Structure 1
Amino acid sequence: MAYEDGAALLERQSGGLSAEAITRQYLERIAALNDGEAIALRAVIAVNPAAMDDARALDQARAGGQVLALHGLPVLIKDNIETRELPTTAGSLALSANAPGRDAPLAARLREGGAIILGKANLSEWANIRSAGSISGWSAVGGLVRNPHALDRSACGSSSGSAVAVAAGLAWAAIGTETDGSIVCPAAVNGIVGFKPTVGLVSRTHIIPISESQDTAGPMTRSVRDAALILGVIAGSDPSDPATIEADARREDYAALLDAGSLAGTRIGVVRFLTGYHAETDATFEAALQVLRDQGAILVEITTGPDRAAIGRAEFAVLLSELRTGLNAYLESTDPAQVPWRSLSDIIAFNRGEPRELALFGQTYFEAAERTSGPDDPDYLAALETSRRLAGEQGIDAMLSEHDVVALIAPTTGPAWAIDVIYGDRVAGSASQLAAVAGYPHLTVPMGLAEGMPVGLSFFGAKWSDALILSLGYAFEQASGARVHPALAPSVEARPEVARALRPAGAH
């Protein structure tokens, strides 16, 4: 059951399997693998104490003839998204008592769609915006998330716990959030599907913010169909989030629109300037391109694009300014009895006084954000205009138009790097920036292995092209069959073929 897709679990419920039994099995798997003596994935910060009661209520509803889109399917929620039963900590000890007792609209929509909130997923603390020297997947509250394919490898971040929980079968699905890469990177290196929707399709209300212009939540699943099912439930307008004003009009039945034949005759741009940083990832990418050709896709080579260094400089300025503004507003909205820290400057001071918080790396980004001047600063406004224009109009939009293609593809990132508490993260390359900065949809789907570790294929395209991107990824997924279950190996080096190569010639 641990690795079954949603359609199978829904069908088995119609045949008599109870939501209570499904939930119990996932909770037992969490107990065995999340904090076990032999294996401790640290993917789950907290389990929902009401999960079994919720499952029984859904079984009663089914007995009464009510069947919902996600009926009885257990979902983990990244711990920067509020749920009514559990604290929402962002992995920080400063928020360990932050329990407002309310659901984010996203969580409420999941419940209304029949999902069971199984618990909270660990994450890179503060969604990986605290320091340039961070270790992805680590939080002071939850500890370090481990990649289930090789336990000494990074789970990437910041939605690391969400990705690992899905990959290792601790939940049917999970919700992650992304500002730039935080859904697609952990999904890719853990061998699952991750979808970052168009910014404004899913409510961000009661989600601890980084960036008003780039933040979004999205599904992390073992299949594209499951991601489409979840998106169909969580998408929609929210009066409290002005970015979602168009969401109701743009929302579609994403699962119904999936088409295994959607690649045939479709022109897709191959973004070559997002390759070349890892030879075996490139080789796996070439094999994926052949799968696309075999399905009838017309691949168009794209060798040049926007100035990514300029985008990066502008994006960084935007994120720091919006972090300070957004986080101050969120902290001011919390209960002072639970969260006495009312501003970013208070959090910085708290961290300096809490040894566990700064034991592994500092808070350079927090300190830089505190020095920004706010949303009316001309430098911030100029950076926002520059980043959006270069990534959107002169980036993705221009490539789609000039090459007459409907979507773009590239390797999502390379295989997971070794966890390193001295040097921190070592991301060799990434396809996340353009779609993240533009606010456009981005899907990663498993495309195979590189050095024995999962790597993903990215599909991204125009604003509001979410249904198209999901369908193209679905067609590739169905043709490639590239998903693999994790081995829960201690390391890449422990694999027999690697271990033999590491020994001297003639050694046994």
Structure 2
Amino acid sequence: MHSAPLTALAVLLLTISPAEAQQQERNERSSSQAATRTYLQRIEAMDRAGPRLNSVIAVAPDAERQARRLDEEREKGRVRSAVHGWPVLVKDNVETRELPTTAGSLALKDNRTGRDAPLVARLRAAGIVMLGKTNLSEWANIRSSSSMSGWSAVGGLVRNPYSLDRTACGSSSGTGAAIAAGFARAGVGTETDGSVICPSAINGLVGMKPTLGLVSRTHVVPISHSQDTAGPMATNVRDAAALLGVMAGSDPADPATREADAKKGDYAARLNPAALRGMRIGVLRPEGMSDALAAVFDAALDRLRAAGAVLVPVERPDTKGLGDAEFDVLKMELKSDLAAYLKTTPPAVKVRRLADVIAFNRANAAAEMPFFGQDIFEAAEKTGGTADPAYKTARAKSLALATRALDTMLAGNALIVSPSYGAAWLSDPVHGDQAGGPSASGLPAVAGYPHLTVPMGQVLGLPVGLSFIGRKWSEQRLFDAGAGFEAARGALPAPRYLPSVAAGARLEGAE
């Protein structure tokens, strides 16, 4: 970790919001090397000490050298893309050549493949600085039904920068907390069902879960080839759009991406916030919203109307059986897909199939299972994997139910809006996750449709997001609508790193 004295700019960045820090960098035309040094110092001061967010597992040893080379290119007139020189953090289930890829598990602590995942190679070619790897819910939160989001044996518990005792959600917990805290310009998360959208919403970020097949999954520790995808996480719509534009593309090793080159776009360059005017939007009002969340949602709808959107109520069709079918698919694909990945890891990695990981966890239970077990792993191991006779039936059922529901609600509408999630719940090692309120992630995750979350407001100082869900390959439309809403909404309060939500007399009662 960088240990040089804090620069004046770094000290400034410790006392202002991430958005203000980014503007300061732009105003001063800081070099990429200066920005990278500042982000490293901010990580040292706030992630390893200070509020101690535990959001970054490791930083790249050559980060400043990468940035210096990119500065030299810029000085010579070569600017590779709109993200040239951006320091970016990548979730630690995505391979990068200079650091191990652990998925948060001690079983993969020696997983130094020396490879870049194709999505990382695309980012490097576009000129990003690979700043480091972020913490995550171990194994992307597929190990246990009583897990605590944001905890891994390698990285510890990620803390929410808005309230340190609350979840950063998961499984892209570290990316969410780190970008919210201003540890990089933008970050990469991954999602199977909610793992980009939830940590983005709960940490006050913009996050895009793209159409399945827009971004390569090669050399990413898998759960499910039917649902896994990487996506960008950033403090604003334009930055998320710019990052996705360079991440996206076809990969011969990932058949799902065969259409990506033809479908991808320069989303940031084409961004049109005025597209909301006249846009017909379906409004999905979920059950289970608190009064406070409903009030924030209603205010967001008012802003969409004021921006010219035509809002139409929609009802969620019956999707009985979807959850069970999806879970069966995830268990069976996990068993097969993880084994296929582990076979490609170096000899220092001793686990080669899910059964090996289960045995490793049992042998190292004190470190790996101090709070929760591995019942989902064990259930997945009992299946026949993707060769199981029940596999194709379960996948066909889950895909049909999710696709039919979304297509019904999208009929005649450009997109759907709904609250992304409720506000962050307490991190609880005794009971595990105690999430309450709605979730918008399930249907687009199973169907493979794109899903964007944009901060819509706060509930008692905790961020909540507004989801924009569209048809396959409609990323540009979602970004346009999100940018229009972002402009209408205005600025929101920055993280304050409070020990808990300060309710004062409202909680304790009048004296």
TM-score by length of 1: 0.95
The structure 2 residue matched to 1:409, chosen from 417, 421, 426, is 417
1:44-83 mapped onto 2 (5 Å cutoff)? 44-69=56-81, 70-83=83-96
Residues 25 and 35 of structure 2 are in contact (CA less than 8 Å); yes or no, is this contact kept in structure 1? no
Aligned pair count? 493
Q: Does residue 382 of the first structure (1) align with residue 393 of the second (2)?
A: yes
- What does residue 507 of structure 2 align with? 502
Structure 2: distance between partners of 1:130 and 1:262: 42
CA distance in 2, matches of 1:425, 1:353: 25
Deviations 1:210-263 (A, max 9, x none): 000000000000001001100110100000100000000001111122111111
Q: Separation in 2 of the partners of 1:152 and 1:219?
A: 25
Question: Which sits farther off after the overlay, 295-304 or 347-356?
Answer: 295-304
Partner deviation per Cα, 1:125-161 (whole Å, 9 max, x = no partner): 0000000000000000000000000000000000000
Residue 378 of structure 1 and its aligned partner are, at CA, apart by: 2.7
Supply the distance in 1 between the matched residues of 2:164 and 2:24 (Cα, whole angstroms): 28
Distance 1:48 1:214 in 2: 29
The aligned counterpart of 2:266 is: 253
Q: Does 1:152 align with 2:152?
A: no
Match of 1:399 among 396, 409, 426: 409
The structural deviation recorded for 1:483 is 3.4
1:484 Cα deviation from its structure 2 partner: 2.7
- Give the C-alpha shift of residue 275 in structure 1: 4.0
Give the AA of the match of 1:423: H
How far is the alpha carbon of 1:380 from its aligned partner? 1.1
C-alpha separation between the residues in 2 aligned to 1:17 and 1:488?
26
* Equivalent in 151, 154, 160 of residue 138 of structure 1: 151
Q: Is the 8 A contact 1:167 1:222 kept in 2?
A: yes
Is 1:431 aligned with 2:440? yes
1:175 to 182, 188, 211: 188
Q: State the partner residue of 1:200.
A: 213
Are residues 1:267 and 2:286 paired? Answer: no
**Paired residue secondary structure (2:275):** coil
Q: Secondary structure at the match of 1:176?
A: strand
The answer for the alignment partner of 2:344 in structure 1 is 333
Q: Which residue of 2 aligns with 1:455?
A: 464
TM-aligned CA deviation for residue 452 of structure 1: 2.1
| Mapped partners of 1:424, 1:439: distance in 2 | 28
Residues 7, 251 of structure 1: alpha-carbon distance in 2 compared, 3 angstrom cutoff: farther
Structure-1 residue corresponding to 2:377 = 366
Structure 2, gaps ≥5 residues long = 1-12
- Quote the residue 1:29 is aligned against: 42
Residue pair 2:214, 2:249 contacting (<8 A) in 1 also? yes
Q: Deviations over 1:154-174 (max 9, x none)?
A: 000000000000001011111
Report the CA distance shift for 1:376/1:5 in structure 2 as closer, same or farther (over 3 A). farther
Q: Is 1:281 equivalent to 2:293 in the alignment?
A: yes
Does residue 489 of structure 2 align to residue 485 of structure 1? Answer: no
Contact 1:412 1:456 in 2 (8 A): yes
Looking at structure 1, the residues matched to 241 and 379 of structure 2 have their Cα atoms a distance apart, in angstroms, of 38
Q: Compared with structure 1, are the counterparts of its residues 253 and 9 closer, same or farther at alpha carbon in structure 2 (3 Å cutoff)? A: farther
Gaps of at least 5 residues in structure 1 are: none
TM-score by length of 2: 0.94
Q: Does 1:236 align with 2:249?
A: yes
- AA aligned opposite 2:276: L
Any conservation in 1 of the 2:165–2:426 contact (CA below 8 Å)? yes
Q: Which amino acid aligns with 1:231?
A: L
Residue in structure 2 matching 1:291, options 296, 303, 311: 303
Aligned position for 2:352? 342
Q: Which amino acid aligns with 2:236?
A: S
Q: Give 3-state SS (helix, strand or coil) of 1:53's partner.
A: helix
1:10/1:390 CA distance change after superposition, 3 Å: farther
Deviation at 1:502, TM superposition (A): 3.1
Take 1:16 and 1:35, find their aligned partners in 2: how far apart are those partners? 28
SS, match of residue 463 in structure 2: strand
Is 193-202 or 425-434 further displaced after alignment?
Answer: 425-434
Secondary structure at the residue paired with 1:399?
helix
Distance 1:120 1:483 in 2: 27
Shift of 1:6: 11
- Identical aligned pairs, as a percentage? 55
Shift of 1:35: 1.3
CA contact (8 A) 1:447 1:482 kept: no
For 1:89 and 1:289, the matched residues in 2 are separated by: 41
1:97 pairs with 2:110: yes
Residue 11 of structure 1 and its aligned partner are, at CA, apart by 5.0
Write the deviation string for residues 15-44 of structure 1: whole angstroms up to 9, x where unpaired: 7521110000000000011110x3110000
Q: Residues 366 and 9 (structure 1 numbering): CA distance in 2 closer, same or farther, change over 3 Å? A: farther
Q: CA deviation at 1:266?
A: 0.6
**SS at 1:333's partner residue?**
coil
> 1:482/1:316 Cα in 2 relative to 1: closer, same or farther (>3 Å)?
farther
The 1:357–1:279 alpha-carbon spacing in structure 2 relative to 1, beyond 3 Å, is same
- Other-structure match for 2:450: 441
Question: How far does the alpha carbon of each residue in 1:397-452 deviate from its partner, in whole angstroms, 9 at most, with x for none?
Answer: 12212xx1010010000000011111110122211000000001000000001122
1:206 and 1:6, CA in 2 relative to 1: closer, same or farther beyond 3 A? farther
Give the C-alpha shift of residue 8 in structure 1: 5.1
Deviations 1:324-381 (A, max 9, x none): 1110011111112x20111100000000010210111000110011011122323110
Counterpart of 2:367 in structure 1 is: 356
1:3 maps to 2:18:
yes
Looking at structure 2, the residues matched to 47 and 7 of structure 1 have their Cα atoms a distance apart, in angstroms, of 20
Look up the match of 1:421.
429
For 1:502, give the aligned amino acid: L
**Aligned counterparts of 1:446 and 1:342: Cα–Cα separation in 2:** 41
Of 73, 94, 98, the residue aligned with 1:85 is 98
